[in-house]
Amino acid sequence: MAIEKHTTPMLDQLETGPWPSFISGIKRLRDEHPDARINEMTNDLLGQLEHSYETRKGYWKGGTVSVFGYGGGIIPRFSEVGKAFPKSKEFHTLRVQPPAGNHYSTGMLRQLADSWEKWGSGLVTFHGQTGNIMFIGTDTQNTQHFFDEINEYGWDLGGAGPCVRTAMSCVGAARCEMSCTNELKAHRALVNNFVDDVHRPALPYKFKFKVSGCANDCQNAIERSDFAVLGTWRDDMKVDQAEVKNYIADKGRQYYIDNVITRCPTQALSLTDDNTLVVNNRDCVRCMHCLNVMPKALHPGDDKGVTILIGGKRTLKIGDLMGTVVVPFKKLETEEDYESMVELAETIIDFWAENGLEHERCGEMIERIGLANFLDGIGIEPDPNMLSHPRQSSYVRLDGWDEAAESWFERQAEAGK
């Protein structure tokens, strides 16, 4: 049966130009897919989207849709103009957790595609901004059917709402020489410890884990996660002086003076007259720049670990916050190391669940109660690496100074310093 296709003069303009067109893809589902349900659903979706383009207004409303046993993971969408576009009047998205690092076999992608066209619209995104596979567009009943089917062969929903969210990690050790940790293992150890908090939203607000293998932070962990794990090292970086000389032979001495030596944020590099690179490792902050420019010559050291920053988020409600260093360096090698990192995450989430206000991100709570109180609450001692600089304001009571100073010297002695 031929469907009556909505005219889409504005959307049609998005089929011109060289970049792949999502409109052409949706039209293919409307025009070529063998399942009439998908033809009709995508036809009405295009109709509603054209209506949005004409009126410059969105027409989806949220609601409550979930799968049996879970409270989250679905983004429900009900159309406000469902009378005009009935076949897409329910158009929910399932958020499905990708494998850590976003690796897929084509066989698995095909299996997911087969399941999705059976129960959904046939539209999918790898991946949304939280990091989920987004299966876009199905009705309330088929949400459950699709979930049941893919859940049987190894897939689970991610988080939506005030819960632990789907985690993200960079490609890392799988294909990057900068990697200083096993990102995939850290990612899964953290998020899979909290499946209950992912699936049943009961926290003050969202909580995100992100893992980057080095300070390049390709994963954008510092700016966009409540619990950011960044790989680093604490011994000397490795320098292959022969490769340094090869680079200089290739692009010239001035290029490397202008682009490596003078760009070091702590002036930790110098180049001798015979083109030997001298690194003052005590001054190096592991920013990664020189390694990025000379990847053949410079490599992370052997004593690798992670830095953990807490409380990154975007604007709402108090403005943008970067994560703050809470663990300057932590080894992440043995099972015990991973366990203690997961325990730290539990401690932080528990403290925040107890003390955070409704709709208050962890970083906002830290802003409100103060970093020192937060550290006290999670049982971590203060460290100068947590700050850019010590306090400027003299408005502070210092009655406990002597004990605090003594505690510092005791800790230094314990650390053998």
Partner 1 sequence: MADMREPIESGCPDPWQYMHPMMRKNFGQWKYHDHPRPGVLLHVAYSGDKIWTVKAGTQRILDVFTLRKLCDIGDEFAEGYVHFTLRSNIEYMVTDEAKVQPLIDTLEGAGFVVGGTQNSVAMISHTQGWLHCDIPGTDASGVVKSMMDELIDEFRNANMPNRVHITTSCCQINCGGQGDIAINIQHTKPPKINHDLVANVCERPSVVARCPVAAIRPAMVNGKPSLEVDERKCICCGACYPPCPPMQINDAEHSKLAIWVGGNHSNARGKPTFQKLVAAGIPNNPPRWPEATAIVKRILKAYKEGARDWERVNEWIERIGWPRFFEEVELPFTKYHIDTWRGARASFNSSSYIRF
Q: Are 401 and 349 in contact (CB under 8 A)?
A: no
> From CA 268, how far away is CA 261, in angstroms rounded?
8
**Which one of 16-24, 342-350, 377-385, 400-408 is the stretch in contact with partner 1 (CB under 8 A)?**
16-24
**Which one of 169-177, 274-282, 328-336, 342-350 is the stretch in contact with partner 1 (CB under 8 A)?**
169-177
Residue 263 in contact with partner 1, rule: CB under 8 A: yes
Tell how strand 168-169 and strand 209-212 pair up. Answer: parallel
Q: Are 120 and 92 in contact (CB under 8 A)?
A: no
> From CA 215, how far away is CA 220, in angstroms rounded?
10
Local structure of residue 34 (DSSP, 8 states): S
Residue 203 in contact with partner 1, rule: CB under 8 A: no
Structure tokens at 178: 């900068």
Residue 168 in contact with partner 1, rule: CB under 8 A: yes
Local structure of residue 236 (DSSP, 8 states): P
> From CA 47, how far away is CA 294, in angstroms rounded?
52
Q: Identify residues 273-312 at the interface with partner 1 (CB under 8 A).
A: 285-289, 292-293, 295-296, 299
Q: Are 110 and 63 in contact (CB under 8 A)?
A: no
Structure tokens at 191: 């998020």
Phi, psi of 411 (to 5 degrees): -65, -40
Binding mask 333-362 for partner 1 (x = CB under 8 A): ------------------------xxx---
Residue 395 in contact with partner 1, rule: CB under 8 A: no
Question: Residue 245: is the preceding peptide bond cis (ω within 30°)?
Answer: no
Q: Which is nearer to partner 1, 174 or 378 (CB)?
A: 174
Q: Which is nearer to partner 1, 30 or 352 (CB)?
A: 30
Measured from the CB of residue 318, what is the shortest distance to partner 1 in angstroms? 7
Structure tokens at 404: 């605090």
Choosing from 160, 163, 186, 198, the residue that interacts with partner 1 (CB under 8 A) is 198
Q: Identify residues 223-242 at the interface with partner 1 (CB under 8 A).
A: 223-224
Can you list the alpha helix ranges (DSSP code H) found in 177-305?
A: 183-191, 195-199, 221-224, 241-251, 253-259, 289-293
Choosing from 259, 275, 340, 355, the residue that interacts with partner 1 (CB under 8 A) is 259
Q: Identify residues 42-101 at the interface with partner 1 (CB under 8 A).
A: 45, 49, 52-53, 55-62, 67-70, 75, 77, 91, 93, 97-101
> From CA 10, how far away is CA 48, in angstroms rounded?
12
**Which one of 128-136, 327-335, 337-345, 408-416 is the stretch in contact with partner 1 (CB under 8 A)?**
128-136
Measured from the CB of residue 29, what is the shortest distance to partner 1 in angstroms? 5
**Which one of 12-20, 330-338, 347-355, 393-401 is the stretch in contact with partner 1 (CB under 8 A)?**
12-20
E strand or H helix at 307:
strand 304-310
Measured from the CB of residue 403, what is the shortest distance to partner 1 in angstroms? 32
Length of the chain measured in residues: 417
Q: Which is nearer to partner 1, 20 or 416 (CB)?
A: 20
